[in-house]
Amino acid sequence: MFPREVDMLKKEKIKAILKRAIAPVTIMFIPHSNTRRTLNLNIPAAGLMISAVLCCFGILYLSSMILDVIRYQAMKKQIRDYSQKVSDFNATLLSLKKRKKIFIN
């Protein structure tokens, strides 16, 4: 084959792929209660693919955020425990200082 013919075949393949990407895909919603009212959505195949990819990215992002929320809850509980221990320690120090003043006087 000549290089020009190869270029033409590549262009035809690209055109065929673009036609398929732009070709609409019909999604039909049929309600159970009223079958006469159907909803037809004509979405380009490329739009459907892009929305599927974005949906996957969204799921990955949310799953990573769930792990952060779990870690946050654990750290929040740990900080609450530490603040309780510090307040108990401060109360103990205060009572020891009062006892020390009583014994010194």
CA distances from 47 to 24, 36, 60 (A): 9, 28, 20
Which pLDDT tens digit goes with each residue over 24-76? 888 888 888 877 788 888 888 888 889 999 999 999 999 999 989 999 999 99
Joined tokens for residue 9: 């075949």
Predicted confidence at residue 66, as pLDDT, reads 93
The band of 10, judged by pLDDT with boundaries at 50, 70 and 90, is confident
State the chain's maximal CA–CA distance in angstroms: 111
CA distances from 69 to 28, 34, 58, 82, 86 (A): 38, 43, 16, 20, 25
SS3 of 35, please?
coil
The band of 6, judged by pLDDT with boundaries at 50, 70 and 90, is low
- From CA 77, how far away is CA 2, in angstroms rounded? 72
